[in-house]
Amino acid sequence: MKIKLIVLSILCLIAVSLALSFFVFTDTQYRPNEDVIDSLEDIGVVESYLDEDITPEPEPEPDPPATPELNYSIFDTTNEAYGIDWFGSGSSFEEVDGTIVAVERENVTVLVPEGYEDLAKAHVEDLITCNSLLSNFMGIPFPKDRIVLKIFISKDGSFQGSQNRGMSFYKRSQTAIDLDLQDVLSNSPDGFLYESSPTYCANTHELTHAFLYNAYIPYWANEGIAEYSQSINQGGVKDYIICTDSGYYTDELYDYYDLNVTMNYPTSMCMIQEIVETYGEALFRDMFQEILLLQTDNKLRIGTTSNYFVYDILIPSFGSSITAILDKYGIEEAVYER
């Protein structure tokens, strides 16, 4: 009887050893059958052996790239530092003396008088959006390394927007620039920058000119493109202009201005709009590719901007039928003939 117990014990130990060698020393994530483990525990040979799942820790998500910080710089000779050369003469382009601050992010720089940094910051954010919107609209990149806007206080109290050598300018009276800043600080719905968003560029008009700063195109086309660009990229601001076959309407019927008689922004916008509606957006963007190509090939410009633009840009882009639209808007052959 004693021999049988000894043999039975030996067999039990052998069974336990085999079980442990399989479950303990195997280098896998295999989990032993629960009934087997319970049996071993019942006879007091081993304690519970249920390792936790060996699941690799997930790698942490990489942090999103940080938004570049706004940089603030003060310049004593800001105009020279940014290559600003006033294109006007007389007191109209004289600015009030004072320290100028450059606020920059990505490829955008906005220059303002000291104390108006919050106004500059709002313009920086808008211009970053504008760069993308207008590049898609025209199908060409901005032609310079940086987008530069200068906002300055005029000595004579006048105000206007303008563009020179690819840089945009807002000349403001003291009262106007103070109101601009207050609109930004209070987030006023009446503010110039209030609706700025990924689909709305408040600076559309002057930046469109800056995109085409080196293009050899006539005034009537340049302003028409900028006005039409506003109607697309600054939604709502040109809704008061309704183009018709015989002219344009605002709240009341206005006389139609032929562009060869006097420059008229709504007439110019309607002309560009009709070109796009007639020939399509793809050909319209191709026109800017042609402009860009001719900007960089050092081609000798023959004649006036009007005949160059019609014969070297419009007709190659849209065909000779474009002349019928030009004639309708007062750009008669006498304006552009060679």
Based on the domain organization, do 219 and 319 belong to the same domain?
Answer: yes
Q: What is the pLDDT of residues 32-88, one digit of tens each?
A: 455 544 554 454 444 443 444 455 666 777 665 555 566 665 544 455 555 555 544
Q: What CATH code is carried by the domain that includes residue 185?
A: 3.30.2010.30
Question: The pTM is what?
Answer: 0.74
CB 329 within 8 A of CB 310: no
φ, ψ dihedrals at 154, nearest 5°: -80, 145
Mean pLDDT of the chain: 79
| Structure tokens given for 60 | 């942490």
Q: What is the pLDDT of residues 275-284, one digit of tens each?
A: 999 999 999 9
* Residue (of 286, 266, 267) closest to 276 by Cα position: 286
Cβ neighbors of 196 (< 8 A, separation 6 or more) are 122, 125, 126, 129, 202
> pLDDT at position 49, please?
38
Q: Is the dihedral of CA 216, 222, 226, 231 positive or negative?
A: negative
> pLDDT at position 85, please?
55
Q: Which domain holds residue 77?
A: 71-210
Number of compact structural domains in the chain: 3
Asked if residue 223 belongs to a domain, the reply is yes
Based on the domain organization, do 75 and 138 belong to the same domain?
Answer: yes
Based on the domain organization, do 293 and 254 belong to the same domain?
Answer: yes
- Show which of 210, 232, 254 is a domain's final residue: 210
* Residue (of 36, 68, 70, 66) closest to 50 by Cα position: 36
> pLDDT at position 65, please?
56
- Show which of 189, 210, 231 is a domain's final residue: 210
- First-residue to last-residue Cα distance in the chain: 128
How far apart (Å, rounded) are the C-alpha atoms in residues 139 and 132? 10
Spans of the chain below 70 pLDDT: 1-58, 62-93, 250-258, 260-262, 295-304
Residue 103: beta bridge partners? 72, 110
Q: What is the pLDDT of residues 90-114, one digit of tens each?
A: 555 688 888 899 999 999 999 999 9
